[in-house]
Amino acid sequence: MVSERYVRLSKTMSYLLRHRPDEAGLVLDEAGLVPLSEFLGAINKRSGFGWVTEVDIREVVETSDKKRFRLEEGQIGARYGHNREINAVDPGEPVEPPEILYHGTPRRAVALILQQGLQPQGRQFVHLSTGVETAQMVGSRRDERPTLLRIRAGDAHRDGILFYAPTPDTYLAPQIPPEYIIAPEERQT
C-alpha cells in the first residue's frame, strides 16, 4: 500500500514535470528531463515537502503504478502527460501499436469525439491504453460510468499516424481521427 505522503509527493512531481516546471524555476530539456539534484531542491522548497530525500523520489519512481517517471543518469522526467503549454517533449522513437487500443472517456464527450476525433486537449498527446481496465479507470476520473472507445490503432498506424509507447501499457498519438474510433453501440460481435 503506497503511503498517503508518497501519493502527495507523486502528484507534485507530476505537476512540476508535466505542467509547471517554471513555477519551481526548473527548465526541462528536449527530452523532458531535469537534473535530479535541482529537482530535489525545488521539491524541498515547496511547503510540506521539506522531508523529501533522494531516496523518497527514487521510491516514488520505482513504485509508480503507471510508470509515470523516468530517472536515468542523474536526471528525472515524466514519461507522458506533458502539458501542451510547455516546450514540446520528445516522445522517443515511433513504434508499431497493437491492432486495438482503448480510451475511456466521459459519456458527455463521446458525441464530440466521434465528430472531431480524439484531440490531445491540454496535453501534448492523446493517451491510449492497451488494457480495457486501465482505460475504464482513466475515464472514471471524470464519469462514474465512462464510455470505453476502441481505437483501430493498427489501421491508423498503417495510414501514417505516429504512435509512441512511453510505458508498455500507455500509447501516445498526436490525435486520432474519427474513422479509427469504435464506440460501443457500433461494436461488431
Strand partners, 164: 172
Q: Which of 12, 105, 124, 130 binds ligand HQG (CB under 6 A)?
A: 105
Q: Does 122 bind ligand HQG (CB under 6 A)?
A: yes
State the Cα–Cα distance between residues 151 and 170, nearest whole angstrom: 13
Query: Cell numbers of 31, please?
Result: 527530452
Which residue, 74 or 142, has its beta carbon nearer to ligand HQG?
142
119 binds ligand HQG (CB under 6 A): yes
Is residue 150 close enough to count as binding ligand HQG by CB under 6 A? Answer: no
Q: Minimum distance between the CB of residue 67 and ligand HQG, rounded to whole angstroms? A: 9
**96 near 45, Cβ under 8 Å?**
no
Site residues (CB under 6 A) for ligand HQG, limited to 68-87? 68, 81
| CB nearer to ligand HQG: pick between 45 and 133 | 133
Distance, CA of 91 to CA of 106 (rounded, Å): 26
Helix (H, G, I), strand (E, B) or coil at 166: strand
C-alpha cell at 83: 502539458
**Length of the chain as a residue count:** 189
In the complex, what is the shortest distance from the CB of residue 122 to ligand HQG, in angstroms, rounded to a whole number?
5
- Asked whether 89 and 28 are in contact (CB, 8 A), the reply is yes
# residues contacting ligand HQG (CB under 6 A): 19
Residues at the interface with ligand HQG (CB under 6 A): 14, 66, 68, 81, 105-106, 109, 112-113, 116, 118-119, 121-123, 127, 138, 142, 170
